[in-house]
Amino acid sequence: MRQKLVAGNWKMHGSLDENQALLNELRIALADMRNMACAVCVPSPYLAQTQSVLADSPIGWGAQNMSEYAKGAYTGEVSASMLLDFGCHYVIIGHSERRALYGETDQVVAAKFAAAIKAGLTPILCVGETLAEREADMAESVIARQLDAVLAVSGMAGMAQAVIAYEPVWAIGTGKTASPAQAQAVHAFIRQKLAVQDADIAERLVIQYGGSVKAANAAELFSQPDIDGGLIGGASLVADEFVAICKAAQS
Ligand code: PEP
């Protein structure tokens, strides 16, 4: 039985004051969550603050990106071991904004994924198609290509240590959610594709849905058999919304 995971992706939002209020609200409201896991992926400068507020809570935390390199002359980059210094458990890898805005190729994403696994972090690997790709009936082939790049480097042993987030690019931050049936179809495709290589690992793999999830649509999405929680952008910045989404994963 897979445990659902709801993770917030704060993106480049927040301030010390805003975070303090949000994290405190989450810590109190989610103190007694059961049968599910929840986490926030915050901007790296706020990892120390997040660690200090959430240290004794069941809420995990992580980062939104990391370098594929362990150390060196990589100005502006943050390594896996730096994330571990601040108690991170998760790191988002290959978010569509990183792929589109910062030129992260499938190969770079695969290298980052491997570096996260090597360090003992749990990568949340984002995959998903653009609107043009969906309209050209290419959603499955794009996702297969994104997964194959990671499998080529880390194999199913790597997948066993990871979480996948299916995030259709057309649904991110747009208010357009994939219908539960549309999302379920892609989640089932991902699980079946991986099951060809290792059925046990594929069955245990947590596959989140991400793309305009909110309190109002979370329960229906999470009730689909292959949707194991969500990666939540905008709604993770609003305490009541995020708490309600976490509770939808619990019920
Ligand atoms: C995301 O950025 O991962 C995301 C799913 O964003 P939103 O929930 O705002 O669509």
Instruction: Tell me how far the alpha carbon of residue 130 lies from the centroid of ligand 1, in angstroms.
Output: 14
Distance (Å, rounded) from C-alpha 50 to C-alpha 61?
7
Which residue's C-alpha comes closest to atom 7 of ligand 1? 233
pLDDT tens-place string over residues 43-61: 999 999 999 999 999 999 9
CB distance 159 to ligand 1 below 6 Å? no
Quote the pLDDT of residue 1. Answer: 79
Task: Report the nearest atom of ligand 1 relative to the CA of 11.
Answer: 2
pLDDT tens-place string over residues 177-232: 889 999 999 999 999 999 999 999 999 999 999 999 999 999 999 999 999 999 99
CB distance 54 to ligand 1 below 6 Å? no
CB distance 127 to ligand 1 below 6 Å? no
Domains contained in the chain, CATH given: 4-250 (3.20.20.70)
Share of the chain above pLDDT 90, in %: 97
Instruction: Tell me how far the alpha carbon of residue 8 lies from the centroid of ligand 1, in angstroms.
Output: 9
- Decide: 213 and 221 in contact? Cβ < 8 Å: yes
pLDDT tens-place string over residues 112-149: 999 999 999 999 999 999 999 999 999 999 999 999 99
Instruction: Tell me how far the alpha carbon of residue 150 lies from the centroid of ligand 1, in angstroms.
Output: 22
Active site residues: 95, 167
CB distance 80 to ligand 1 below 6 Å? no
Instruction: Tell me how far the alpha carbon of residue 231 lies from the centroid of ligand 1, in angstroms.
Output: 7
Closest C-alpha to 63, from 74, 55, 79? 79
Burial of 22: CB neighbours in 10 Å, binned 0-12, 13-18, 19+: buried
CB distance 233 to ligand 1 below 6 Å? yes
| Residue 251 predicted with pLDDT over 80 | no
89, HSE (Cβ side, Cα atoms, 13 Å): 15
Residue type at position 79: S
| Tokens 């198609």 found at | 129
User: Which residues make Cβ contacts (< 8 Å) with residue 13, sequence separation at least 6?
Assistant: 43, 237
Instruction: Tell me how far the alpha carbon of residue 95 lies from the centroid of ligand 1, in angstroms.
Output: 10
Distance (Å, rounded) from C-alpha 26 to C-alpha 233?
15
User: Which residues make Cβ contacts (< 8 Å) with residue 40, sequence separation at least 6?
Assistant: 7, 8, 10, 23, 26, 50, 54, 59, 60, 61, 62, 236
Distance (Å, rounded) from C-alpha 207 to C-alpha 227?
6
Quote the pLDDT of residue 177. Answer: 87
Share of the chain above pLDDT 70, in %: 100
Which residue's C-alpha comes closest to atom 4 of ligand 1? 233
- Decide: 7 and 40 in contact? Cβ < 8 Å: yes
CB distance 211 to ligand 1 below 6 Å? yes
Which residue's C-alpha comes closest to atom 3 of ligand 1? 233
User: For the chain, what's the residue count?
Assistant: 251
CB distance 212 to ligand 1 below 6 Å? yes
